[in-house]
A and B are shown apart, each in its own frame.
Chain A
Amino acid sequence: MTHEKGAGQYVAFKLGLEEFAFDISMVREIFPTQEITKVHRSPTHIEGVMNLRGKLVTVIDLRKRFKLKAKDFDESSRIIVVEASDAPVGFLVDEVTEVVRMPADSIEAVPEYVAQEIESEYVAGIAKLDDRLITIIDPLKVLELSTDDEGQKGGMSYGDRAGG
């Protein structure tokens, strides 16, 4: 439980040099990358499915989702599992840096100019912590807004789909 009024805990992670964070209450667990099974003809930002204790969990590549340059995953890559409305969903990130407590007054609304690389709808706020700038992302918004985009190469487009 948080004690200071308005302070929250966040799971901070990196995509390239940028730092992002999810509200910890939305994070179910964090895994080192394991085998992810590719699902052909799925939207490009979907990396595939993984075996989470016997359940098939969809893994979304946040880099691709945010249209950043693709990168193979490595030792430090992590999958952050978030509880979406219908099922748990994994987010593939470059590295999880830490769990940080951020007082509410360190978090600012999104200034227009920051939302350059990623679409601003997902951004819940920008936190300034010492010399770090952390973009707080609402993972559920990311899912919600991932409703219609490119079907992958290979014949048919897959049409639109429920996003959660």
Chain B
Amino acid sequence: MPKEIDLSKYSKLFVTESRENLRTLNETMIKLETKPKDKSLVEVMFRACHTIKGMAGMMNFKVITDLAHALEDLLNAIRDDVVKPTEDVAETIFKGLDALEGMVASVENGEDIDETSGLVVELRAAASGKPGKKRKKKRSELVAAKEKADKEPEPGATRVSSVYVKFGRRCAFPSARAFVILKELGKVANIVSSVPSEDEIDMEHVFEEFTVTLEPEKGFDEVTSRIAAMPDTDEVRVGSPDKPRNDWTVVLDGTARPAKAIVDAPVAQTVKVGMDKLDELLDDVSELVIARSRLVERATSHEDSSLDEISTHIDKLTSEIQAKVLGIRMIQLEAVMARFPRMVRDIAKNQGKQVEFIVDGGNIELDRTVIDRINDPIMHILRNCVDHGIEPEGERAETGKRKRGLIRIVASKQQDHVLIEISDDGRGIDYEGIKRKAVSKGLITQDQGDSMLARDLLDLLFRSGFSTKDDVSEVSGRGVGLDVVRKNVEELGGSVMISSSEGAGTTFSLWLPFTLAIIDAMLISIADQTYAVPMGVIAESHRFDSGEIKQIRTREIVQLRGEVLPVIRMRAFFGIPEASDDDDKMSVLVVQSRERRAALAVDDLMGHQQIVVKSLDNRLRRVRGISGGTILGSGKIALILDVDSILGA
């Protein structure tokens, strides 16, 4: 008998593979809604569903197996024209997918999986269509045929039999698969031997073929067909070990499976690595970079040519490693975008609107950290588009527009930034509406409103608590507004812009850095300590004569090309006494965050440099004026000024 193996070891594999398949299912279902007659779409969904079922079966997740099975039956019925993919049916399928999604999450978190027998019944009912004899019959015929096929190679009670499994070339963990197969077979048969043997499998050798000799018992056929449904199995045969394999019964013939045939393209050799490992690697590299500069410093002061040579070599290698590690952290925008089509569909449906959704540029790569943090802002903008942008069908018809609204996300590379544009073809920004709202909320006076330019009115949208829709609906509510969008994007060192033309639509443009881990910064000093200020918030640097500093009531101000800027003395902000040396010049950084601008008075400007951003722990996260830190080439720490909180103080 196979030794007890811990299936939980493989649940990670199950979670990733199921998620991939669920994504395919969601995406394809949305397509199917617009092309209900395209049977190839149903085929794709069926295969994905079948894979999930097979994997869940192997892992003994009965609830998932049952649900996937019911879903598969429904898809089968659609494929066979027994059921039409109507709106209701689509809704049921989406419900099923959501439930599966939740179950997979439970597996990931090691929680118990909730029963969903109600949903299974619902899916079954949908699969049988409305009571109609023809359909029912057809379905039962199908089932009967399937059962018959399953029963075909009836094995004798104690006859020795062999199971041959050939793994696909893409199979990443043949040993994991083999163990699962052994375990499954062990339940319904007495295992005699296997090639490779259990010990060999344990050594995690790479192999493609796996043969098990056993004495089958009841339920054996069911297990072999489940093995055939596993991902990565290309071929499964069952037969007597005395006969040549070609004479064995074919349970699965890889060449007949279209899915495998299609993917049988050259395969990139890849390894999956956890993000935490990459974070650790980046930390180590940062440390290496610092050690490198120490070495270089030492080497140059020693006039030892061979030491110099080594240090130059290490210097070069370190730079290469750093660039490569940062490169590895880049992931495709697709990773977040994949969720949007479904979300847009749901919101639109909820509001009785029809929306076509187009995504372009999903292959653009950004640092994982950036990707993680733009998800919510984009989601919010999309909600805004459906909610405020796209008009109800009737209104669109009146203005001669297509019934169906259009929302597009287009991502593109722009020099050192990524531009993500989210646009709709809706009614555009209602400037008068904004003005009315802002006045009624007391944000501006009527006179101010009347003299405001369109651009300034758009800026009002980013003020906190601003929402032009009177009724806070389910999607645009929760107190999250465009102010949060702007804040999130600016925290990443990016910016947001809106452009709009009345009646023709609105475009939100997000400018984002490729990577968050490294930003451009100006190094400054305050009381002999070095600080970094992100270049994104700096408008310019300037030196003022002390005579230029004016006093308005209790506040100091300076004027720069006519603009009046409040002076914030950083020493005072940090509670450090002003320097006693009577330098009659004052070094200033003109900074801006949201609509506010100010002149930060610092001791010295030290120059511009790229820095690796490090976070502070919980104990220091709420300290005003500081948002993080970085480690300089010397190994010293430079804290990063949080200009937003300094201006807010």
Binding site for B on A (CB under 8 A): 35, 37-43, 46, 49-51, 53-58, 60, 84, 86-87, 89, 143, 146, 152-156, 158-159, 161-164
Contact = CB atoms under 8 A, between A and B. Distances in A.
A99 to B, nearest CB: 26
A163 B629 contact: no
B622 interface: yes
A49 B575 contact: no
B13 interface: no
B576 A40 contact: yes
Given A37-B629, A40-B575, A58-B616, A51 B637 contact: yes
Contacts of A57: 617
A123 to B, nearest CB: 21
Interface in B447-483: none
A50 B287 contact: no
Contact of A58 (B574, B575, B620, B639): B620
Contacts of A156: 624, 649
Contacts of B619: 42-43, 46, 58, 60, 89, 143, 146, 161-164
10 contacts: A37-B629, A37-B637, A40-B575, A49-B629, A49-B637, A54-B283, A54-B286, A89-B617, A153-B575, A155-B572
A86 B618 contact: yes
Contacts of B649: 155-156
Given A56-B628, A158-B622, 19 more contacts: A35-B637, A37-B639, A40-B576, A41-B574, A41-B624, A46-B620, A49-B629, A53-B287, A54-B287, A54-B631, A58-B617, A87-B617, A89-B619, A154-B572, A154-B574, A155-B572, A156-B649, A161-B622, A162-B622
B74 to A, nearest CB: 46
A8 B254 CA distance: 61
B636 to A, nearest CB: 6
Contact of A158 (B290, B529, B624): B624
Contacts, number: 108
B513 interface: no
Nearest to A50: B637
Contacts of A152: 575
Contacts of B639: 37, 39, 49
Given A39-B623, A41-B575, A56 B618 contact: no
Contact of B623 (A37, A146, A158, A163): A158
Q: Nearest 9 CB-CB pairs, A to B?
A: A154-B575, A40-B574, A54-B287, A87-B617, A37-B637, A153-B575, A54-B286, A54-B283, A162-B618
B616 A55 contact: no
B618 A42 contact: no
A155 B625 CA distance: 11
A35 B51 CA distance: 57
Given A37-B636, A56-B615, A154-B574, A49 B620 contact: yes
A39 B624 CA distance: 10
B284 interface: yes
B635 to A, nearest CB: 6
B614 interface: yes
A84 to B, nearest CB: 8
Contacts of B617: 56-58, 84, 86-87, 89
Contacts of A55: 283, 614
Contact of A54 (B284, B573, B636): B284
B52 interface: no
B276 to A, nearest CB: 14
Q: Which of B573, B574, B620, B636 has the most CB of A within 10 A?
A: B620
B244 to A, nearest CB: 58
Given A53-B283, A87-B617, A163-B619, A38 B529 contact: yes
B626 interface: yes
Given A39-B639, A50-B637, A159 B622 contact: yes
